[in-house]
Amino acid sequence: MPCSATKLEEARAYERREGSAIPAQDRPAFHLTPWVGWMNDPNGFCYYQGAYHMFYQYYPYDTVWGPMHWGHAVSTDLLHWEHRPCAMAPDTDADAKGCFSGTATPTPDGRLLLLYTGVQDDGKGGTKQLQCLAEGDGNDFVKDAANPVIGESLLPEGASCVDFRDPKIWYEDGVYHCVVSTRDDREQGRILLYESPDARRWTYRTTLDVCRNEYGKMWECPDFFALDDRQLLLVSPQEMEGTPDGEFHAGFGTVALLGRYDKERAAFTRESVQPIDYGTDFYAPQTTLTPDGRRVMVAWMQNWATVNEAPRNHRWFNCMTMARELFIRDGRLCQRPVREIEAMWKNTVHRKETLDGSTSYAGVAGRRLDLTIRLDAAASPECRRFILRFAQNDRHFTSVEWSSAYNELVFDRSCCGSRRDIPHQRRIKAAPQNGVLTLRLVLDGDCAELFVNDGERTISALLDTPADAQGISLHSEGAAVLELTSHELA
């Protein structure tokens, strides 16, 4: 049946009425927000018929999590998004308890497939999670009459349908493939690989990787792709333990497993592991390929551990990160803002100087800007500390502080205006590369994304700062030779 039953029509009517009443100035400029209500994981991120499509976990009726729908937006530049009508609602037996996360891929004949997790009663007072299919034209979708297309009988021994979700689908060499997360009877996250000739008749192929309770427990939202000379498996672990060096933080994390993949044997060999992002607000990343071959990623700019307090009087809650290009450098996953952002640059300020003390620069201020600072550490032996403060007024600021003695960087939003007792600080290693420390900060209202050393590490964080806090200042203890470039974004 078409995904146009009463629940879907009700959601579409509600979002047209309520979402259209939210002024554009109440939203970030280039971070996707829900049309109205609640948003979490990005879903179905793909390029289809000349536009990027972003679906997302969605509950239009409130700013808290509820029965999951799929919201929908499109963009031609990965930065400016146009809301489309709700794509799916939980309106069949196979997904009556929610249309959970999934992905999308175009078919050879020009249709768009959505593979998602349908949540349903298990008949024992609980729920089970199985994989469902919908097909459509990019606006309206028909759920498959045979849903779920990946059911309990296709689970390997020891895997559980209580936690069996978030399929990532792709089409390659005439075959549909998907990876799905599950938790086994030893409480370990596992990533399962399935194959199908038509996206409807699936066969379990193998288990690609197991967390062995080393990086969290349940692994959510897998993504699996080749990048440069590596194969990457991205996962979002629950119940992470922090590490003494600060490389991994406790709670809900995001992890990239880098290695090699033997397609013939369907064997993934893990070679290294790293966090995807070090910030307080980054989860469930999903990637797609651009027409020119770039691998780009978007994530939910929030965290399950701190998500339960929506701002008062808001009619929408949560957003996505900006899109980022992924690349490998020296065996490490790195990220940079998508190059499309350069079309938004205006009122550029460029300065080179030696700073010892505190300063601010005319034309370098605001809450929508792309700011890059290159600190020549090799030429600044007396610089003990360097601090960037932004979103600043007499009471509020967020800071990025670098210590030369420890090659350590601290991102601190403790004074941003938040009244919540939640993590406000992240501490990471940040050694200069070829003698230079590079900090690139992209601001969009309360969305802050920091790229350290040309994307070697990133920190994503939400602020809670009044809009009139527009100041940006630099501070150095000891002479610092630096170069600053600032672009307002419009």
The dihedral built from the CA positions of residue 246, 303, 258 and 47, taken in this order, carries a sign that is: negative
Q: Which residue has the tokens 């349940």?
A: 218
From the list 41, 163, 209, 444, the catalytic residue is 41
* Residue at token pair 């009619």: 315
Active site annotation includes 41: yes
CA distances from 75 to 31, 50, 81 (A): 11, 9, 5
Scanning the structure block, which residue is given the tokens 């290693």?
429
- Provide the CA 143 distance to its chain's centre, in angstroms: 27
- Contact assessment for residue 384 and residue 404, using Cβ atoms and an 8 Å cutoff: yes
CA separation for the pair 10, 4 (Å, rounded): 9
Q: How far is CA 171 from the centre of its chain?
A: 23
Other CB atoms within 10 Å distance of the CB of residue 468: 9
Q: How many C-beta atoms lie closer than 10 Å to residue 66's C-beta?
A: 15
Distance between CA atoms of residues 421 and 276, nearest Å: 25
Could you tell me the two tokens for 155?
């689970």
**Residue the block writes with tokens 């032996």:** 381
End-to-end C-alpha distance for the chain, whole angstroms = 43
Bridge-based pairing state of the strands 295-300 and 324-329: antiparallel
Backbone angles phi, psi at 154, to 5 degrees: -95, 5
CA distances from 359 to 66, 362, 388, 393 (A): 47, 10, 10, 14
Residue 322 phi/psi, 5° resolution? -70, 160
Q: Which amino acid is at 27?
A: R
The structure tokens 């409480």 sit at 187
Q: Where in the sequence numbering do the catalytic residues fall?
A: 41
